[in-house]
Structure 1
Amino acid sequence: MSVKIAPSLFGADLGNLESQIKAVEECNVEMLHIDVMDGNFVPNIAFGPDQIKMLRSKTKLPFDVHLMVQEPDRLIPRFADAGADIIMVHQEATTHLHRSLKLIKSFGIKAGVVLTPATPVDTLKYVLDETDMILLMTVNPGYGGQSFIPNSIGKIKDIAEMVKGYDIDIQVDGGINLETAPKVVEAGANVLVAGSFTFKGDIAKNISDLRNCVK
């Protein structure tokens, strides 16, 4: 399975988003990762549906929207309408995960589940049929630029074993760089979210280096 790159807009220069999106688009990345934060589930606030709707006309890249919000079901319709191609919800933020995934899919888009570092992988065992992507947070969610949590490697391996026989992408987010990317790919991940690493300095070189280090 080839490795996909998903630059996180939370790490971009928010004053020059259009040019930053164009820069990663020219590098043929597979998707854009957009973090949505409500200041409740996580301490930070970022990207609402109106902002995503405005960005939708700027690129043809798929929008991978990561909802770091409490009670995601109330917001899923708005983000689907804003142009999300996949919506990811936290297992920890919804009381009825299966219902949330079915709601996302009712809009004709892909559905994903996110686990924070302390959440066990067994919580996903009964929703694999409704899941297109699993995102394992390799830092605690809410802030960019954090260091990778080493014991995440074992968790990635556990998920890779669990999803055998399913068409499910394994995405990782947090502290992804030239040192950690080969380790998570070897463990079984195939989608790399990189924010701080991607947008600091030469974007084209950063993405090229990231691709080369996991070949």
Structure 2
Amino acid sequence: MIRTWLPHAVALLALLLCARLALWQVERAEEKEQRLAQWQNASTLELGSDQAPERFARVSARGRFDPEKHVLLDNQIRNNHPGVHVFTPFHVQGSSTIYMVNRGWQPWERDARQAPRFRTPQDPITITARASDAPRVGLQIGEAAPLDPDNWPNLMTYYDTERIREALGDRVAEDVLLLDPDHPAHLSGDAWPRVNMGPERHIGYAFQWVSIGLAIFLIWLILTIRKFRQR
């Protein structure tokens, strides 16, 4: 009895899995479309109070960079070369909030004895940027290691706001600022990607899962009809 129904059960589970994965890709496409719309229609804000900017808001702020306490986010690839994204604390004038500003990519080899070297403005400066969620990874294995508050810069495998607050204080904002690529303090000049994968690719993946599900259904149907005729 089990041998009779087992192939049907496997086929049904495979069809359900394909359907779920296809729907998940459609949901991801809708999320990306919303993200692109938010980026396009974001408001403009001048930072100078403790009011948190909305997601992807265009912001400008007057203040100072901390010239030493950089956080280097590891495993950032640019043109097939390994490197880091440099996050520098920015003290906003007239506010107690500290924003971690992503200043872009810098090369860094794991076997290098020294951290990347770059210049950081020390005088008061005006920055223009995009407010954004803190970077995150799809699959995180383990936790971010504590930062060393006495030795800078610090290398992080995963961006962790709580770890950064332990080293820099509770005034560090939850959001980060993506420095405009044409700003002099930006390190690489690369434009910020609005999404890591466009909605059309998610729709393409959804179509692939539907096609796989259809192929499984046709194979199941043909084999079932053939077995019925044999009986």
Compute the TM-score of the two structures, normalised by the length of structure 2.
0.22
* Greater Cα radius of gyration, structure 1 or 2: 2
Compute the TM-score of the two structures, normalised by the length of structure 1.
0.23
Q: Which has the higher strand share?
A: 2
